[in-house]
Structure 1
Amino acid sequence: MKNNTIHDQAIRRNIRKVALFSMGLLITLLGYVTYLQVIESNNLTFNPLNRRTAEASLKVERGQITDSHGKIVALSKLTAQKEYRREYPYDVLFAHVVGYDSPKYGKTGIESIYDGYLSGQINPERRLGAISQLFKSTAGNNVTLTIDARLQQVAYQALGTNRGAIVALSPKTGAILAMVSRPGFDPDSLEADWNNISQSASSPLLNRATQGLYPPGSIIKVLVAEAALAEQTANSKREFNCTGSLKIGPDYVLPESGNRAHGKLNLEEALAVSCNVTFGQLALDLGRTKMAKSFERYGFSQPLRGDILESPSKLPDFSRLGDGDLAQSGIGQGSLLVTPLRMAMLASTFANRGIMMKPYLVQKITAPDGTVISETSPEKWLSPVDAKLANQVAHMMVTVVKEGTGSGAAIRGVEVAGKTGTAENPHGSPHAWFIGFAPADNPQIAIAVIVENAGSGGSIAAPAARQVLVQALR
């Protein structure tokens, strides 16, 4: 009898274990299904490998993409095969921002980032699973950009036939007002001309504004000037002596452009004439740790995230730099590489009293009936410098345009702040740079211009920037 009782108790224990194990499996399964349905549903739906979504999207009228004034830059039209195909009325002008939606080659740009909204697939009802089919829309949502098509046109034309990029943004909000990259491509003829576009040595698919990495050259001197003032390595009264070159150690010489000797000058004058000797010396005076911290303050080591896909900046390992390379970093040379977007953001910081706003491309998303689904609010990203010091650097940048190398960006009746750059690179002639903002006393636009292999920033990039600034301030 005792043995039977023990045997029964053992069976009950085993039954309980099996029941608990089964319940555990069921809870795990329910949890996983819930995770897929609620958390991962959008990622799985819009995965490029999900052909069901790609095929289904051809039956839905994809939402329009418009500029900030409602001009249509992308729309869907029904074909004879009863499928919707994308059309791009502005051809090459918005190609890198808007991207493309191709059944054969996928999606890029805004078409990819906001695919869920444009296709009408992102909606609260999707989490209801199969029931969501009852609410299925035949039209997608519309996306309104921050970009002004007229300013975009002027920026594109300002580059001429040169390779390069222009980024213009509002320093007060971070809204991108124009973003162009040359050479470009026509999204409407993408599939027909794919081989030529994808294999071209000029890389027309590359958005140079956000993915092109370049040595900044002398435009980085505004950051070095601020760092020197912030760290009290220099002040408005410190005098520098430029003899045409800076001897560093026993066997390294940092030359002045054209070996020109600027003589005695203060920091503002040094920025105006873009004196390499002064800024090479300032980098040495600041030292490796303070130079590294200065770039960190301005966010060069932080990803942006959001609706802009950007290549990360390439910063030198300052702790391992020799004195010659450290001096080179003070004039924007060496291993330092940045995107034009980052340099527009740098200029915007001095325009906005030391506050760097987070850049964004999409103003709002609206349903087909006009209901606003989401709207972007300006967001402060960093505060790398106090207002007083930012204003001091801004004042020096005004001098660069009034009396120095940036005179090509000057506008009659408007005070423009800026900095030119001529960045040497190992792949050909120097790149021409300009960064700046206007009006200096109440900035409405900050800008970065790079023209590849074009030489002098003052003679090439500054006049291109002027064209955009004039249009923006009309």
Structure 2
Amino acid sequence: MNAPLRRVAISVLVLFTLLIVNVNYIQVVRSDELREDSGNTRVLTEEYSRERGSIVVDGTEVALSTPTDDTLEYLREYPQGPVYAPVTGYYSLLYGAWQVEDAENEVLAGSDDRLALRRLADLFTGRDPAGGDVVLTLDPAVQETAMTQLDGATGAVVALDPATGAVLGMASTPTYDPARLSSHDPGAIRDYAAELDAMDTDPRLNRAIQDNYPPGSVFKVIVSAAALASGEYTPDTVVPAPDTLTLPGTSTQLRNFGNSSCSSSQEQSLIDALTISCNTAFAQLGIDLGEDAVREMAEGFGMTGESLDIPVQTAGSSVGDIESEAALGQSSIGQRDVRMTPLQAAMVAAAVGNDGTLMTPYLVDQVRAPDLTVIDRADPEELSEPVTPEVADQLQEMMESVVANGSGRAARVSGVTVAGKTGTAQVAEDVPDHNWFIGFAPADDPQIAVAVFVANGGGTGGDTSAPIAREVIEAYLEGQGG
């Protein structure tokens, strides 16, 4: 073979080798990446050729796929879109999946391992492949009431079953219409996304779980728990309650809300301090207990800074850095670097209501095959036991007093004893305060624990968030025949 022919042969061999390597790289190494690429039109066409499973609440499909006459054979619809959008999210041609649509995508798309037998049967029978259904734990009355009560505000409501951790309600406002992000018209999708982008607060963010905020005085429940758990305090223990408290090592004076006086004697019982939410009493109490006791109790209630998988991923909640006794005093009233998600706030109330046992929160009750056979069911799990039943009983007594006699009066429900705690959290100078309420009812047999957060509400937790909690509690108990 002459030299020119040999060079051509070598070049062809090299090119052929590179072709084989590239094919293997694409089919083996990058296969998952390409399959999951939302811009891959072949993948999109294949996905939309199958009926995606439904997201179901109390027997009603709140997200479902319906047949179409266009190239993409199924359209994702949300009959009560804005009410359930914080939980369902969307399934979009351009922006992929979000919230439960994303977290449970494999089930809904039919690719989950638990549906393997169904896929195998489809191959042999020629039946059209379809996705499985995801049945949520939400209670319609709770969800609808929470969204209605939050209308016009930026905020969130979370309601839990204290005994199991099941999420009964998860509201976040402002909200949006997921159907408009899930249409088959790319131009319309972009236009609507631009509308949402232009808003002061992004409606696609689920404020119940995906952001955290200073909790203000609801954190006093945790400080109270640390005091009672130490064995050195009872609800009747008298603690200092000065009009002002000079923070250790500083000239900073910490004051009570509205510069009020908690007690003419400058001291009061622990239960009275929680009832009227005395800042100076709890700042001093936290300092006396020490950082370790406060932090360990907060972590016991779930404030570890870590995300939860419910299965949507949540933001973490934590006490933050505490570099001095002065910082500890401020942190002990839920300010400084303390941050909670509304879900975490509801978990605090739920743990107290459940005799001191905190259950892991969860949103998915069942997973069903396309023939509605249940292939997986939630199994409630204990997350932690931050306090003993005895301490939980004492906290319950104190929280009942908040609603019966103190700052939480607006959460009272006729014929039902409610236990709760209000919170008003400072944000920044000239910025309206955040408003909180956490609680559970009936206090002697808790069926629902709730947290209400109103961002920059400008009032107090007692006058802004407590009434919302009352409506949510009433809606649930009426639905349960209570």
Cα separation, partners in 2 of 1:119 and 1:314, compared to 1, 3 Å: same
The Cα of 1:189 is off from its aligned counterpart by 1.5
Report the 3-state secondary structure (helix = DSSP H, G, I; strand = E; otherwise coil) of the residue aligned with 1:448: strand
Q: Are 1:303 and 2:302 an aligned pair?
A: no
Q: Are 1:436 and 2:425 an aligned pair?
A: no
Q: Which of 289, 293, 296 pairs up with 2:296?
A: 293
The Cα of 1:235 is off from its aligned counterpart by 2.6
Q: Are 1:122 and 2:121 an aligned pair?
A: no
Contact map agreement 2:151 2:174 (CA 8 A) in 1: no
Q: Which moved more, 1:188-197 or 1:92-101?
A: 188-197
The Cα of 1:242 is off from its aligned counterpart by 2.3
Show the counterpart of 2:158: 167
- TM-score, structure 1 length as denominator? 0.86
The Cα of 1:42 is off from its aligned counterpart by 8.5
Cα separation, partners in 2 of 1:137 and 1:395, compared to 1, 3 Å: farther
Contact map agreement 2:299 2:318 (CA 8 A) in 1: no
| Structure 1 segment 209-220 matched on structure 2, within 5 A | 209-220=208-219
Cα separation, partners in 2 of 1:121 and 1:276, compared to 1, 3 Å: same
Contact map agreement 1:168 1:447 (CA 8 A) in 2: yes
Report the 3-state secondary structure (helix = DSSP H, G, I; strand = E; otherwise coil) of the residue aligned with 1:208: coil
Contact map agreement 2:298 2:318 (CA 8 A) in 1: no
In structure 1, the gaps of 5 or more residues are 1-32
Q: Are 1:448 and 2:451 an aligned pair?
A: yes
Report the 3-state secondary structure (helix = DSSP H, G, I; strand = E; otherwise coil) of the residue aligned with 1:59: coil
Show the counterpart of 2:317: 313
Cα separation, partners in 2 of 1:43 and 1:132, compared to 1, 3 Å: farther
Contact map agreement 1:120 1:141 (CA 8 A) in 2: yes
Q: Report the AA paired with residue 171 of structure 2.
A: V
Q: Are 1:282 and 2:285 an aligned pair?
A: yes
Cα separation, partners in 2 of 1:426 and 1:314, compared to 1, 3 Å: farther
Q: Deviations over 1:68-126 (max 9, x none)?
A: x2011011112221511100000211111001001111000111111111111224685
Aligned mates of 1:333, 1:120 — CA distance in 2: 46
Report the 3-state secondary structure (helix = DSSP H, G, I; strand = E; otherwise coil) of the residue aligned with 2:170: strand
Show the counterpart of 1:77: 66
The Cα of 1:50 is off from its aligned counterpart by 6.3
Aligned mates of 2:312, 2:177 — CA distance in 1: 21
Cα separation, partners in 2 of 1:43 and 1:218, compared to 1, 3 Å: farther
Cα separation, partners in 2 of 1:411 and 1:81, compared to 1, 3 Å: same
Q: Deviations over 1:325-351 (max 9, x none)?
A: 110111000011110000000100000
| Structure 1 segment 10-409 matched on structure 2, within 5 A | 46=36, 52-67=42-57, 69-82=58-71, 83-123=73-113, 137-190=128-181, 191=189, 192-249=191-248, 250-263=250-263, 264-301=267-304, 302-318=306-322, 321-409=323-411
Contact map agreement 1:233 1:286 (CA 8 A) in 2: no
Contact map agreement 2:159 2:169 (CA 8 A) in 1: yes
The Cα of 1:243 is off from its aligned counterpart by 2.9
Q: Report the AA paired with residue 377 of structure 2.
A: E
The Cα of 1:239 is off from its aligned counterpart by 1.3
- TM-score, structure 2 length as denominator? 0.85
Contact map agreement 2:237 2:270 (CA 8 A) in 1: yes
Q: Deviations over 1:278-337 (max 9, x none)?
A: 10011100112222222222221143224131011243223xx22221101110000111
Show the counterpart of 1:17: none
Q: Deviations over 1:18-71 (max 9, x none)?
A: xxxxxxxxxxxxxxx9xx89xx9989865657664433110001111110x201
Report the 3-state secondary structure (helix = DSSP H, G, I; strand = E; otherwise coil) of the residue aligned with 1:232: coil
Cα separation, partners in 2 of 1:443 and 1:128, compared to 1, 3 Å: closer
Q: Which of 454, 461, 465 pairs up with 2:469?
A: 465
Q: Report the AA paired with residue 243 of structure 2.
A: G
Aligned mates of 2:162, 2:64 — CA distance in 1: 30
Contact map agreement 1:355 1:385 (CA 8 A) in 2: yes
Flag as ranges the 4+ runs of structure 1 deviating above 4 A.
Answer: 40-52, 124-137
The Cα of 1:160 is off from its aligned counterpart by 2.8
Contact map agreement 2:302 2:317 (CA 8 A) in 1: no
Cα separation, partners in 2 of 1:53 and 1:297, compared to 1, 3 Å: same
Q: Report the AA paired with residue 309 of structure 1.
A: Q
Aligned mates of 1:434, 1:131 — CA distance in 2: 51
Aligned mates of 1:124, 1:333 — CA distance in 2: 46
Aligned mates of 2:31, 2:272 — CA distance in 1: 58
Contact map agreement 1:308 1:360 (CA 8 A) in 2: no
Q: Deviations over 1:179-235 (max 9, x none)?
A: 010001101122141111133221111100001211000001011001011123433
Cα separation, partners in 2 of 1:128 and 1:86, compared to 1, 3 Å: closer
Q: Deviations over 1:152-198 (max 9, x none)?
A: 11110111311100000100111111101000110112214111113
Cα separation, partners in 2 of 1:227 and 1:44, compared to 1, 3 Å: farther
Aligned mates of 2:465, 2:41 — CA distance in 1: 45
In structure 2, the gaps of 5 or more residues are 1-24, 182-188
Q: RMSD of the alignment, in Å?
A: 2.6
The Cα of 1:130 is off from its aligned counterpart by 11
Contact map agreement 2:67 2:74 (CA 8 A) in 1: yes
Aligned mates of 1:452, 1:236 — CA distance in 2: 31
Show the counterpart of 2:5: none
Contact map agreement 1:125 1:132 (CA 8 A) in 2: no
Cα separation, partners in 2 of 1:110 and 1:124, compared to 1, 3 Å: closer
Q: Deviations over 1:416-447 (max 9, x none)?
A: 00000001002710011000000000000000
The Cα of 1:464 is off from its aligned counterpart by 0.6
